[in-house]
Amino acid sequence: MSCLSSKRWVAVFGTAILLGSCGGTQSSGTGGNAGTGGTPGSMVDAPDALGSFAVGHTMFTATDAARDDRELIVNVWYPVDEADAATEPRAEYPLTGPFTLASEVAVDGLVVSSAGPLAFLVFSHGFGGINTQSTQLMETLASHGFIVAAPAHTGNTALDQSDDMPAEKRVPDVSFVIDTMFERSNTPSDAFEGRIDESKVGVLGHSYGGQTSMGMVAGWAGAGPDPRVEAIGVIAGGVGEGDFSDEAFSSVTAPTVLLVGTLDPGAFENHNYAFTHMPNAEGLFKVEITGANHTHFANVCDIGNYLIDDLGIEQDAWPGLGAGALIQPYNDTCTDEVFPIAEAHRLQNLYMVAHFKRYLMGETGYDDYLSSAYSDANEPAVSFVAQ
């Protein structure tokens, strides 16, 4: 990638990073039981490493005729059988204009696994962010057998912040993506024909997307809950007092995992509030990662590293590119002196994969990971509490 138009590119994605929304690549685990598959759940795949499937990727634009032809760009990651696996063409996740981030894992256009129908997840990005902000998590979930769709919430993205009331669109956007993927699964000759299990639907998201996830089961901004959603994951989300009523929190019965860093004070407080006001959730877990901040879960380091390592642009030149606001979150998240982002990604993978494998796929072998006994023995950075 040349430096042409780099001012536009950096300015846009510097803003996205500050909002907890940026693109990235697969991180490999280095701590705990990453990649062992042996302990504690010897009968299940290790949730903090890639699973047994290869990973495919595609993207398309969906138009919601019921909402004034609202268009959503949707990226989809999905499992691929070994016989259909390939190494090219690697997925190129769009940033802006001609600029992309290359995947180390996903390949475009492969055949969706026939080992189905498969559980289906929707990921919601942060406020003013991009739908490819958490590709390492999307790829890991797909490798464990999930089809994962991530819409770009039109009017509330890094490239388009024209919507002054974005909350009202969030839950309907996710419901529309569910509708669209169900329709594709029921359309003869579609690439996803017969591939989605309509009884196994989950939603997860980061920051404002975590608030969106809660809205899918509690209702939010005038939209009621979507009864098709069976489990949710909230990552550093706006789920505190005032975001939802106590009545809305108490109405949630869907299994919920709340994951947050201890250096993210607003989200940390929000998660504690939600945890103590959701007495009826079938499975409710609070995961706190000591030393992680808000951007540890959004691949903030990839863009900063790209500027430095690939383009040779050091931090003292970032303000001149319109990226001065990127310096502080990069230094807070990506240096050797702070909690390793690769470890934050590994832990995010571990708890999101284990949660959805257990509560959407019904694989009880993951109960071992969803316990304080596991974290106490294996994950010194994690405080885990189950209700």
Strands (E), 65-215: 70-80, 90-94, 100-108, 118-124, 147-151, 196-206
Interval 142-175: pLDDT, tens: 999 999 999 999 999 988 999 999 999 999 999 9
Backbone angles phi, psi at 100, to 5 degrees: -145, 165
Backbone angles phi, psi at 181, to 5 degrees: -70, -35
Query: What pLDDT, in 10s, does the model give residues 236-252?
Result: 999 999 999 999 999 99
Q: Residue 115 has which token pair?
A: 């080992």
Nearest to 76 by CA among 4, 184, 156: 184
User: Containing H/E element for 58?
Assistant: strand 54-64
Low-confidence ranges of the chain (pLDDT < 50): 1-15, 17-38, 41
Instruction: Provide the mean pLDDT of the chain.
Output: 89
What burial class does residue 81 get, using C-beta atoms within 10 Å of its C-beta: 0-12 exposed, 13-18 middle, 19+ buried? middle
DSSP alpha helices (H): ranges in 163-236? 167-185, 208-218
pLDDT at 158: 83
Length of the chain: 387
CATH domain 6-52+114-386 topology? Rossmann fold (3.40.50)
Cα distances from 323 to residues 21, 102, 291, 319, 382, in angstroms, run 15, 22, 25, 5, 33
Per the structure block, which two tokens stand in for 68? 């004034």
Q: What distance in Å separates the CA atoms of residue 13 and residue 100, rounded to the nearest whole number? A: 12
Give the DSSP H or E segment for 61: strand 54-64
What is the three-class DSSP state of 350? helix
- Mapping DSSP to helix (H, G, I), strand (E, B) and coil, where does residue 230 land? strand
Nearest partner of 49 among 64, 60, 34, 38, judged by Cα:
34
